[in-house]
Structure 1
């Protein structure tokens, strides 16, 4: 007969499964510190030995890591998405920048439409809250804060799409963006007219998602990324023109 005896699951296995789910769904993020052993065992309702067994298993799987004297952290599992050699290649070629923008336009358009349909009311509140933080940062004319909130806003939309593969892939891509591998977002937010346009675009994205209009949300993302692509192209042309002008000036001074 095809039946097997049902056995009670070890507590440590239940702990492993719960922490795995939190990492998979993006609730526990790479680099995030877990509570102390005492606090975590109390929250989970398990003994410390069971917790230690679960942590050891998750460490062996590469999902958790310890830092001497600092506790247990979620491992930087995103770091393996791209090799160091590929990251250097990205940063050295303009082609990668525009391919990145194109990739984001397609993926985030899909994510925004999914968020409008599948996002919970709380998901939409998170997106709306971050957008209003963007408005506050805009009024203070703080480009670094605006650039950081820009990333948080887009990632919140991806989280609200409830697709874990897309979530982890895009988090990895945004980590590279924060490091300036593709382009410097703060440069965009330092220009007044660009800053105003970007805020208007994010407002349109937020409004469409809050209205649960999937088509409008996708269109708003497309319009936003089209603008980013055009602005980056203009920046590159301006940089090339400045380099030519600088050489002319040096040559004129040397005559």
Structure 2
């Protein structure tokens, strides 16, 4: 057998299904995203349409993809929506869990920043920079800040860093918590961004995090990510404490 034949990827239906699963795990095809047409997939993968169709059938039987008449195949949700469970309801309805969530974000995002700095490809760095610029440009040019929009831009920046970690488990764990993570970003933007000192701090930390990751400085990237989330948690706690002090002082003035 010649060398180029040994290196050629297998084109059996099982091998094609495995290649597609890897593309899904790596986030090339994301949950809810339509797969390219069969013709396009055949061209990109260099396989026969009959083998591709059999591979797609295998993925359908596993529940990895969903095919709808007249629409094509899309990647199925990889994790059952956690936000509909009673536990997720309690998390969302009780603000005190926000600090627990920020601790979890620090653990996950600190490590993902370090891994992204070590493993990120040139394409990853382009996407991270694009997401950072979208967020930074909006902050710079917006007359008044739309809290929800900025929260989504902020979350997209951190998610791009996580994707550059090239750790599918880490990436899909964070993706499965999107609603909860967005709620923590929304809280930090809503309560901190109107304060000039807090706004400047957040902007500086985002700039430092972006620079550390794209420059491949893993230890610095982890440290900046941890400092970012620790500072947000500390300032939110101080706002809570201030609110409680004001409430107690007002109650002392009331007649009981």
Superposition TM-score, scaled by structure 2 size: 0.80
When structure 1 is superposed on structure 2, of 238-247 and 21-30 the one drifting more is 238-247
Equivalent runs, 1:90-101 vs 2, <5 Å: 90-101=91-102
Q: 1:145 aligns to what SS in structure 2? A: helix
Superposition TM-score, scaled by structure 1 size: 0.80
Match of 1:148 in 2: 152
CA contact (8 A) 1:37 1:48 kept: yes
Task: Tell me, yes or no, if structure 1 residue 74 matches structure 2 residue 78.
Answer: no
Distance 1:40 1:237, change over 3 A: same
Match of 1:4 in 2: none
Distance 1:111 1:56, change over 3 A: same
Equivalent runs, 1:183-202 vs 2, <5 Å: 184=187, 186-188=189-191, 190-193=193-196, 194-202=198-206
Give ranges in structure 2 of 5+ residues lacking alignment.
1-8
Task: Tell me, yes or no, if structure 1 residue 206 matches structure 2 residue 210.
Answer: yes
Deviation at 1:173, TM superposition (A): 2.1
When structure 1 is superposed on structure 2, of 21-30 and 227-236 the one drifting more is 227-236
Deviation at 1:184, TM superposition (A): 3.7
Q: 1:124 aligns to what SS in structure 2? A: helix
Distance 1:212 1:128, change over 3 A: same
Q: Distance in 2 between matches of 1:123 and 1:38?
A: 27
Q: Distance in 2 between matches of 1:240 and 1:72?
A: 52
Deviation at 1:73, TM superposition (A): 0.8
- Alpha-carbon RMSD across the aligned residues, in angstroms, is 3.2
CA contact (8 A) 1:91 1:181 kept: no
Deviation at 1:95, TM superposition (A): 4.2
When structure 1 is superposed on structure 2, of 225-234 and 190-199 the one drifting more is 190-199
Q: 1:78 aligns to what SS in structure 2? A: coil
Match of 2:230 in 1: 226
Q: 2:79 aligns to what SS in structure 1? A: helix
Count residues with an aligned counterpart: 244
CA contact (8 A) 1:30 1:78 kept: no
Distance 1:122 1:46, change over 3 A: closer
Deviation at 1:127, TM superposition (A): 1.8
When structure 1 is superposed on structure 2, of 183-192 and 149-158 the one drifting more is 183-192
Deviation at 1:230, TM superposition (A): 2.1
Match of 1:27 in 2: 28
Deviation at 1:203, TM superposition (A): 0.6
Q: 2:73 aligns to what SS in structure 1? A: strand
Deviation at 1:211, TM superposition (A): 3.0
Q: Distance in 2 between matches of 1:98 and 1:12?
A: 47
CA contact (8 A) 1:87 1:181 kept: no
Task: Tell me, yes or no, if structure 1 residue 160 matches structure 2 residue 164.
Answer: yes
Match of 1:45 in 2: 46
Deviation at 1:29, TM superposition (A): 0.8
Distance 1:247 1:183, change over 3 A: farther
Q: Distance in 2 between matches of 1:238 and 1:34?
A: 51
Match of 1:61 in 2: 62
Q: 1:66 aligns to what SS in structure 2? A: strand
